[in-house]
Amino acid sequence: MAIRSFFAPFLFFALCSYSSLTPVLSLYEDQVGLMDWHQQYIGKVKQAVFSTQKTGRRRVIVSTEENVIASLDLRHGEIFWRHLLGSNDVIDGIDIGLGKYVITLSSGGSVLRSWNLPDGQMMWESSLQGPKHSKSLLLVPTNLKIEKDNVIVVFSNGRLHAVSCIDGEVLWNKDFEAESFEALQVIQPPGSDLIYVVGFAASSQFEMYQINARNGELLKHERATFSSGFLREVSLVSSETVVALDSTGSILLTISFQNGEISFQQTPISSLVEDPSGPAVIIPSSVPGIFAIKTNAFTIFIRVIGEGKLEVVEKTNHETTVSNVLPISEGQQAFALVQHAGSEIHLAVKIAHDWDGNLLKESIKMDQQRGLVHKVFINNYIRTDRSHGFRVLIVMEDHSLLLLQQGAIVWSREDGLASVIDVTASELPVERDGVSVAKVEHNLFEWLKGHMLKLKGTLMLASPEDVAAIQSMRLKSSEKSKMTRDHNGFRKLLVVLTRAGKLFALHTGDGRIVWSHFLQSLHKSGTCQSPIGLNLYQWQVPHHHAMDENPSVLVISRCGPSSDAPVVLSFVDTYTGKELNSLSLVHGVVQVIPLPYTDSTEQRLHLLIDSDKHAHLYPTTSEALRIFKREFSNIYWYSVEDHNGIIKGHALKCKCTDEAADEFCFDTRDLWSVVFPSESGKIIATVTRKLNEVVHTQAKVIADQDVMYKYISRNLLFVATVAPKGSGEIGSVTPEESWLVAYLIDTVTGRILHRVTHHGARGPVHAVFSENWIVYHYFNLRAHRYEMSVIEIYDQSRADNKDVWKLVLGKHNLSSPISLFSRPEVITKSQSYFFTHSVKAIAVTSTAKGITSKQLLVGTIGDQVLALDKRFLDPRRSVNPTQAEKEEGIIPLTDSLPIIPQSYVTHALRVEGLRGIITVPAKLESTTLVFAHGVDLFFTQLAPSRTYDSLTEDFSYALLLLTIVALVAAIFVTWRLSERKELQDKWR
Amino acid sequence: MRSVKVIVSFVFTLSLLSFPSSGFQSDELLVDDEEFGLEGSPQPRSPEPIPTRSPPVTAPTRKRHSDLDSDSKIQFSLEHAFGDSDFSPAGTFSARLKTWSHGGQTLTKLRFSRNSFTDEDKEKFKNLLESDDFYRIRIPSNVLSPPGRDFVISSVKARCLPREGLDEHFVIHMEGVNVLAVNYGSPGSCPYPRNLKLPAKWSFSSHTVLKNSEQAPRAPVFTEEILGGENAEGEVVQPPERSFWAKYWMYLIPLGLIVMNAITQAMNMPEEQATGQGQPSAGAVQRGPSSAAQIGRESVNVFFPVNGSYLVWPRPLNTEINLCIKILELKYFVGSRISEVKL
């Protein structure tokens, strides 16, 4: 009994949370946007089509690398409508048909869809099949008609289709059986009924098909062989001429197929330019008469002057990007050219046949943090003086999208944030004495007025204007977007690494970008063509020196996907976004292990494992080495080789024996291995506990005054394997030949602590590991439903510490050090439940002290985040819980987990393309910060057991004051009254 | 004669049967069949394997066994390494391979014989103990075609093993004929910090356990039960029978108080009688609370703030609240009476 008093605080909080059976954390309508923010993005733009004719609202239709089709307002860059296609439905091309339909070709050219331009509703969809996989090309001719029907020409899957623009019906199709034929261009010369399909076959043969556009009849088929072969890019210089390069990249071939006759013209590049410096590539473009090639050093623009004669018009060593072609008047076509020059970009708009004359020449100051211009799309408008004006949409290296007009940036969108790779949270600067932030507190009158308004609101007396005033007051309450640390720890910086390699710091108060930094190591450069950002780690989190040292993060970037490619470490200050330092490593990096040790400047020690199984210690200081040496024999880690189903455990051995190696390099050795049989197990998920998770209590008091000890080990790994057959598509496997095995492995000794088979189950598996429990989600083929299972692990070796006398006399083993080499005595409890949704991500709330009860955050297939109380996933649930169990808060067992609509954290919003959910503890124990990212970003605060430790934001202090005053007055009045009464009584 | 024959043959078979167990000291691990997974059956906690002391003999005894039914008997070897040295043979596992009708194969009756340490091994092991290094073992990941895809390795700090002799504990996780993992360590705890302790005897006592996967409990499907439960609830919603005390405590406590009051007053009575007879109220006290209340009616009106009115005592006792109020009042009343008396 006395042991209960040890857990009194725990019980108190437990009671708080258990006081209501379903703690719904729904919001009121007017609370939306107080704690949460939501940002919509689209991703890096692949293609843009302008729609400005005859429409009241000027808009641009874009398709992006996140598979989004969106219609953007050309004036402000806002999203009119947006559709996210699935991740396997990659958009190949978009165009506008009939001026009112957006036509998209996706899924490798097999799905053609039409969307209504004003509102984005889908009009029709048709599926285009073909004999083989090929490049897919979309062509929407403006004036090609078959029986009054506008036609869309699609080349996909080795077949040419003509599709009606009205209803998506396939009018005719034509197969290209030739095995190796690879179409490169589909050309429809304006004003004719002919379609040319040109391409290469067998790498050295040029083929041209001439097809009647009305019925798909093959009119002519010509081929010509060029012995030294082609590179796979062509540039269309007129409707009957293309330019290609030979396979060595040194000879230009002008191929003309006028009247069905193919003729080659060879021009060595060296005859045009003195010093070509290496092989060239063609920059794909379709500017009539002009094409561009790129060598290592130069970009060369070459004009074709009839009969295959070539002439160099410009040779530049600046980064240059060419736009699409825009017909501006009869026979005149304009295009834009963007060149970098220092911190400026030069924009030139030229007429296709007149290189030297510029329609427009502007230079625009460009933020260096945006990198190079990747894509340019041009559009024109009529100026007030009836002349042609041009605006261009440019896509930058950091995936941002900008509209330039009249030499200025009209708007910009930070669409890099649509592809977040990694997130970490950082504290804000401490409020200093010198800087007065208190100034924002307005005078007393304002304050009172605000509270009177609030009071009116609570008493339902507020008029609509008052309500609006209250709302706006709440929203702009500068408290939450200050740039300093707050007492409750709600204000933080979210440091976000995007796929483009740009770091952003977002303020948790309102989601604004505090700083952004494009890492030097992630810029595309001569030495590294495709750098990728890998991970973000907290490098230095000062607590003792919080006033004079800034926290910093470590960004690991690698040149290309292979594991032994060169790696760069960059250290970035999180207050300012300045890159403090960067290190180019001589070794590759396979694994990064943040160690639980910090040096005297509070820099965290990191161990980097390279592909030769050497471990490298960072930072490379003698102090770090000293700390590391002390813990040398206590460092263990594991590696998962999921391609061959082996998990291995490692430890450090000694200094590198390599002579070239420095003193921070260590040899490693294998300690254990688990080999999953290749015929029965394929690793599909591995999950560990979060490193920084805090567990408040080891013990769990259960109903009958008994205590169970949680098995809390940081070194547990959850592994899920499925039958190799079961890892394919859903429907490819029967329940009998599909199973899922869940393992709990100790990563120090390699012990399998628990192993359980779910027959008839299959992936994908999403799991979350916290404290002593794991929850995982999978598909049950027998029940045709998704399931969630929970496993809880309890330590039996401490189970006999129940005797009070043992605790009093100190004869317990609760504080003795635990060695994982001891044989573990654990028991597990598990239970499974059905769950309605399929899941995209799963996370768990984390609080500062770990006292508050936990909630699972489930990212559903509908791109929402559902908060599910952990008590629903308690293996001790039973159909008829006893009275004592009910008091403890055990919910009667049901076969499926309830989905309460009010418990959607994202309320009415959707986080399109949800990929991850991150929780960060606030300083206030009851509250946790939740950040969900996908194409959209969403942030909110959650209090899983309600805010039991603070008053809510909209608490009316004025009402409290009034009540107190009224009570005091009432006390005085009644006191007087009773005194008088007493006097009268005494006189009676 | 016939019966004698029967007896003789019986004795003979008995001796045959008992021969293998009495003929040598077996190092067999007698593992319960539950370890081999009667599939679907609820698994109790793994029973403690019976420790057997492997005799330090160089000739392994398994050979005699393998003669009996060599067709389904398989062997695989255990190899060990000291620190970072190469692996060398250290012992042999032998087991019976059971082929199920559905084609699956499982191992049963695992036995283990360990080679004893040579002097060189002992020296190496001592070095390990001194440097607190790892003692590593490995077995093939496939018992039919060793080493399968790879060896499964396990290791333990050498200082965890020595006790009386050298205690070791193997848990071999099987998946058909594949060895998923082997967990090696001491059978008990290995407290940190590990102290250097040399074994008294250089013989191993080995414990081995074979483990197969458990079946997960099915997700409960009880839509019908829920409906049934609701029906039952609709018909008979019987609150659990409460004890006498739980039912009537609100009456019992006031009653107790009244009695106590009465007793105290009864105690006071003689005293009061002694001090003064003239006061009429003192007489009221004698008669106990109920009569006291009657007397009080004439003289006392109690201001009671709950309903804000003068309450004329007594009133019909019909509700619990009223009753409680009464008790409070009564106490107040009686108390004041007494104090008056004392004054």
Q: What is the pLDDT of residues A92-147, one digit of tens each?
A: 999 988 878 899 999 888 899 999 988 889 999 999 888 888 888 888 887 777 77
Q: Nearest-CA distance from A879 to chain B in Å?
A: 9
Neighboring chain A residues of B215 at a CB cutoff of 8 Å: 756-757, 759
Q: How far is CA B232 from CA B221, B228, B237, in A?
A: 19, 6, 8
For position B226, what pLDDT does the model report? 44
Rounded CA-CA distance B248/B81 in Å is 76
Averaged pLDDT, B207-215 = 86
Total residue count of chain A as it appears in this document:
988
> Of B148, B183, B219, which is closest to A787 when you measure between CB atoms?
B219
Shortest alpha-carbon distance between residue B217 and chain A (Å): 7
Mean pLDDT rounded to a whole number for chain A: 84
Residues of A in contact with B157 (CB under 8 A): 821
Among A752, A797, A834, the residue with its CB nearest the CB of B183 is A752
In this predicted model, which residue has the larger pLDDT, A540 or A455? A540
Check whether A219 has a pLDDT greater than 90: no
Query: Of B48, B144, B151, B192, which to mutate for an interface test with A (greatest number of A Cβ within 10 Å)?
Result: B192
For the ranges A586-590, A813-817, A864-868, B194-198, the one whose mean pLDDT is highest? A864-868
- 8 Å CB contact of A672 and B154: yes
- To the nearest whole angstrom, how far is the Cα of A743 from the nearest Cα of chain B? 9
**Contact check, Cβ <8 Å, A672/B217:** no
Spell out which residues of chain B touch residue A752, defining contact as CB-CB under 8 Å: 171, 173, 180-181, 183, 211
pLDDT for B15 beyond 60? no
- In the predicted model, what is the mean pLDDT of residues A961-973? 96
A341-388 pLDDT, tens digit per residue, is: 888 888 988 887 777 788 888 888 888 888 888 899 998 888 888 888
Kindly determine whether residue B148 and residue A675, on different chains, have CB atoms separated by under 8 Å.
yes
| Beta carbons of A749 and B178 less than 8 Å apart | no
Task: Reply yes or no: is the peptide bond before residue A764 cis, omega within 30 of 0.
Answer: yes
Q: How many CA atoms lie within 13 A of A120 on its CB side?
A: 15
Given a contact cutoff of 8 angstroms between Cβ atoms, the answer to whether B62 and B68 are in contact is: no
List chain B residues with CB under 8 Å of A748. none
**Which among A644, A673, A833 is the nearest to B219, CB-wise?**
A833
Which of A197-206, A538-547, A811-820, A843-852 reaches the highest mean pLDDT?
Answer: A843-852
Mean pLDDT value across residues B130-159: 86
8 Å CB contact between A725 and A736? no
Nearest to B191 among A676, A816, A831 (CB): A816
**Residue range A695-700: average pLDDT?**
84
A832 contacts B219? CB cut-off 8 A: yes
The runs of H, that is alpha helices, within A561-636 are 622-630
Cα of B172 to nearest chain A Cα, Å: 10
Res A824: pLDDT: 83
> How large is the average pLDDT for residues A392-417?
91
User: CB-CB: which of A674, A780, A819 is closest to B181?
Assistant: A674
Question: Nearest 5 degrees, angle CA A595-CA A600-CA A604?
Answer: 25
C-alpha to C-alpha distance for A5 and A9, rounded to whole angstroms:
8
Q: In the prediction, which pLDDT does B48 show?
A: 40
CA distance A635 to chain B (A): 13
- Identify which has the larger pLDDT, A145 or A389: A389
User: Which amino acid is present at A973?
Assistant: V
DSSP symbol at A168 = -
Cα of A757 to nearest chain B Cα, Å:
5
Give the pLDDT confidence of A224-269 residue by residue, as tens digits. 888 777 877 788 887 788 888 888 778 888 888 777 778 888 888 8
| Nearest CA-CA distance, residue B152 and chain A, Å | 5
DSSP A328-382: EETTEEEEEEEEEETTEEEEEEEETTEEEEEEEEEEEE--GGG--EEEEEEEEEE
Distance, CA of A580 to CA of A555 (rounded, Å): 11
Instruction: Say how many CB pairs under 8 Å bridge A and B.
Output: 149
Taking an 8 Å cut-off on Cβ atoms, the answer to whether B141 and A680 are in contact is: no
Taking CB atoms and an 8 Å limit, are A895 and B221 in contact across chains?
yes
Cβ-in-10-Å burial (0-12, 13-18, 19+) of A549 comes to: middle
Give the pLDDT score at A381: 84
ipTM associated with this complex: 0.77
Chain A partners of B141 at a C-beta cutoff of 8 Å?
Answer: 675, 677
From chain B, the residues in CB contact with A895 under 8 A are 219-223
**pLDDT tier at B231 (50, 70, 90 boundaries)?**
very low
Closest residue to A821, CB basis, from B141, B190, B219:
B190
Per CB-CB distance under 8 Å, the chain A contacts of B220 are 832-833, 879, 893-895
Region A718-728: mean pLDDT is: 85
Q: What is the mean pLDDT of residues A676-685?
A: 86
- Indicate yes or no: CB of A783 within 8 angstroms of CB of B219: yes
Give per-residue pLDDT as tens, B29-71.
444 433 333 333 333 334 344 444 443 333 333 333 433 444 5
Q: What percent of chain A has pLDDT over 90?
A: 28
* Of B151, B134, B124, residue with least CA distance to A654: B134
CA distance A156 to chain B (A): 43
Q: Select from B169, B173, B217 the Cβ nearest to the Cβ of A831.
A: B217
Q: How many Å lie between the alpha carbon of A782 and the closest alpha carbon of chain B?
A: 11
Nearest to A756 among B142, B148, B216 (CB): B216
As a whole number, mean pLDDT of residues A628-657 equals 88
* Nearest by CB: B152 against A675, A751, A758: A675
Contacts of A677 in chain B (CB under 8 A): 141-142, 149, 175-176, 178, 180
pLDDT given for residue A149 in this prediction: 78
Q: Cα separations (Å) of A679 from A201, A683, A737, B216? A: 41, 12, 11, 21
